[in-house]
């Protein structure tokens, strides 16, 4: 399935047709369905805003207004007030955000991971300045779950990925990461992934378990591999001109809603991965799932230094500062 790029006129018509076009109606688009993690976060944000103000929040799930690049353009132009998007796509605008694709940088331990996202100076101090340069107000970053690889053939070593075409987001560092793993990284719009796996355009893809289950990626792949290399990160942003034009009370309502939605989504994710994997195995008993041992992960981990060096080359003027501060934040989260 391919999502057609929508014109500004057609998007405006769709928005105006979906609700009363009032100054207190705020529009919020995201990359997933309503019942997936970004959608659950968005619904909590909407609930909090509407409970604590007279404003309405209209939600636009994936595909409603186009692909990820479409909704970012709409947020930057002010058609949307809010957009939720992964650094996987935002990295094209903000190269420093690609740091989230250095493999084995984020911890697997959930408590450490949540502590990092709550307290990271990289997220609270550095990234807001970088996002602001692109007309975006960074409201919250949060994790979505352990990233897993689904393929048509089993994967236990980097050699197993030789000539395997793995779909990646259009992010240079993610491309480099999978190239370092031994695969053939293949950027592809999300709307084309299922069909691409069916037809052999690609041989695999990566995502958290809940997304593999909800989008039925297991139907067109046969093996799930837990490399332990990353956790999917996403971010809620506002159009900066819109946000700065609000009075202080409304800004506080928005930030409080983003914070409440963060707490909610962290709690929501407890047990989500295990439940999704159980559902996948029930739906397709022949599916195999492999969690690589530390010994098996070692050759994959060894690629991290090269990917990190690439990040410092292509990650923008503040790449070194971001990487150093992020490592300090992660060390603090582990203590």
Q: Which residue has the higher pLDDT, 110 or 69?
A: 110
> Residue 7's pLDDT is what?
52
| Whole-angstrom distance, CA of residue 29 vs CA of residue 60 | 4
> Residue 91's pLDDT is what?
84
| Statement: residue 304 has pLDDT above 90 | yes
Q: How confident is the model at residue 221 (pLDDT cuts 50, 70, 90)?
A: very high
| Statement: residue 316 has pLDDT above 70 | yes
Q: How confident is the model at residue 16 (pLDDT cuts 50, 70, 90)?
A: very low
Residue 267, C-beta contacts closer than 8 angstroms, at least 6 positions apart: none
Average pLDDT score, the chain:
93
Q: Are strands 223-226 and 184-187 parallel, antiparallel or unpaired?
A: unpaired
> Residue 2's pLDDT is what?
38
pLDDT, tens only, 163-179: 999 999 888 999 999 99
Name residue, tokens 């560092």: 173
pLDDT, tens only, 64-93: 998 888 999 999 999 999 999 999 888 889
- At 215, give phi and psi (nearest 5°): -95, 0
Mean pLDDT calculated for residue range 106-115: 97
| Statement: residue 251 has pLDDT above 50 | yes
Beta bridge partners of 203: none
| Whole-angstrom distance, CA of residue 168 vs CA of residue 173 | 10
Mean pLDDT calculated for residue range 232-237: 97
| Statement: residue 14 has pLDDT above 70 | no
> Residue 270's pLDDT is what?
96
Cα-Cα end-to-end distance for the chain: 46
| Whole-angstrom distance, CA of residue 181 vs CA of residue 193 | 20
| Whole-angstrom distance, CA of residue 132 vs CA of residue 241 | 10
pLDDT, tens only, 22-56: 448 999 999 999 999 999 999 999 999 999 999 99
| Statement: residue 18 has pLDDT above 50 | no
Mean pLDDT calculated for residue range 113-138: 98
| Whole-angstrom distance, CA of residue 212 vs CA of residue 224 | 9
Six-digit token string for 29: 């688009």
| Statement: residue 17 has pLDDT above 60 | no
Q: Which of 333, 314, 48 is nearest to 173 (CA)?
A: 314
Percent share of the chain, pLDDT over 70: 93
| Statement: residue 143 has pLDDT above 80 | yes
- Type and span of the H or E element at 141: strand 136-151
Measured from the Cβ of residue 198, the count of other Cβ atoms closer than 10 Å reads: 11
Q: Are 74 and 15 in contact (CB under 8 A)?
A: no
> Residue 89's pLDDT is what?
84
Mean pLDDT calculated for residue range 201-213: 97
> Residue 88's pLDDT is what?
82
Domains and CATH numbers, the chain: 25-334 (3.40.190.170)
DSSP string covering 197-230, please? HHHTS-SEEEEEHHHHHHTTGGGG--EEEE----
């Amino acid at each position: 399935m391919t999502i057609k790029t929508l014109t500004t006129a057609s998007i405006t018509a769709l928005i105006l047709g979906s609700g009363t076009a009032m100054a207190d109606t705020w529009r919020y688009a995201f990359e997933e369905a309503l019942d997936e993690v970004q959608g659950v976060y968005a619904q909590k944000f909407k609930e909090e805003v509407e409970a604590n103000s007279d404003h309405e929040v209209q939600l636009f799930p994936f595909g409603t207004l186009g692909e990820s690049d479409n909704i970012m353009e709409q947020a930057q132009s002010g058609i949307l007030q809010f957009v939720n998007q992964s650094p996987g796509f935002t990295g094209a605008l903000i190269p420093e955000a690609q740091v989230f694709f250095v493999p084995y940088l984020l911890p697997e331990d959930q408590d450490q991971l949540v502590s990092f996202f709550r307290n990271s100076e990289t997220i609270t101090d550095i990234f807001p300045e970088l996002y602001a340069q692109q007309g975006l107000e960074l409201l919250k970053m949060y994790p979505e779950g352990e990233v897993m690889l689904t393929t048509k053939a089993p994967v236990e070593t980097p050699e197993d990925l030789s000539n395997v075409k793995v779909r990646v987001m259009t992010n240079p560092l993610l491309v480099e990461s999978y190239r370092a793993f031994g695969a053939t990284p293949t950027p592809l719009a999300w709307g084309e992934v299922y069909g691409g796996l069916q037809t052999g355009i690609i041989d695999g893809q990566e995502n958290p378990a809940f997304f593999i289950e909800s989008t039925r990626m297991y139907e067109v792949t046969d093996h799930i591999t837990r490399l332990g290399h990353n956790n999917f990160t996403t971010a809620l942003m506002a159009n900066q001109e819109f946000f700065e034009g609000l009075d202080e009370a409304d800004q506080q309502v928005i930030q409080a809603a983003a914070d409440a939605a963060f707490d909610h989504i962290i709690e929501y994710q407890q047990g989500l991965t295990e439940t999704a994997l159980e559902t996948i195995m029930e739906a397709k008993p022949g599916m195999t799932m492999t969690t690589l041992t530390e010994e098996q992960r070692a050759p994959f981990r060894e690629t991290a230094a090269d990917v990190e060096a690439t990040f410092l080359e292509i990650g923008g003027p503040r790449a070194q500062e971001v990487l150093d501060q992020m490592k300090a934040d992660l060390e603090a989260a582990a203590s």
